[in-house]
Amino acid sequence: DLHSTSRRQRQMCIRDRGFRGGVMASPKGFILYRIWYGNCLAYLGRTKQPLQARIRGHMFAKPMHRAIDIHNVTKIEYTMFETEADMNLYEIYYINLWKPPLNVDDKARDSLSISLPDKEWDEFIPANWDKWKNEIDTDNSGVALWHRLRNEKALRGESIL
């Protein structure tokens, strides 16, 4: 779970990772991010907007965002690039290397014949994570349930189109 770290671990993160007042500043720039469901890399995405805003779009199934079930998310990680071209190249590379089940675009059926240098990934904990969970839990429209079922289907390897 995103908030299962001990208080001491969290304090170390606050000192070491650019947290402001106990809340991590949202990274901005050319960013790739990974969303994990337990030990499964569920989704890999890219953004030029603040990471907090992009992640929120996934959790609330906004247009142009792959819907992600907030209750399945155990970790979010990100890495940054100097150029948009590098970010775009690495996104396609990683999608085809790892084949995350919730990524349906840009995924080839065969394997890569090249390799790129690995990137270092940092954990990201959205500032409003618990508030988002509460908002989604009180959603009576059925949208949250639909997305949860769709995500479970994708993790089983079934088509979600």
- Read off the pLDDT of residues 32-86 as tens digits, 9 standing for 90 and up: 999 999 999 999 999 999 999 999 999 887 877 888 888 899 999 999 999 999 9
pTM exceeds cut of 0.85: no
How many CB atoms sit inside 10 A of residue 124's CB?
A: 21
Quick: pLDDT tens for 3-37. Answer: 544 334 333 333 333 434 445 678 999 999 999 99
Q: What is the mean pLDDT of residues 140-159?
A: 67
Name the average pLDDT for the chain: 81
Half-sphere exposure of 24 (CA within 13 A, CB side): 24
76 backbone dihedrals φ, ψ, rounded to 5°: -125, 130
Positive or negative: CA dihedral 41, 45, 51, 57: negative
CA distance 19 to 150: 34
Question: According to the model, what pLDDT value does residue 8 have?
Answer: 40
Element (H, E) at 34: strand 30-37
Q: With bands split at pLDDT 50, 70 and 90, how would you rate the model's confidence at 140?
A: low
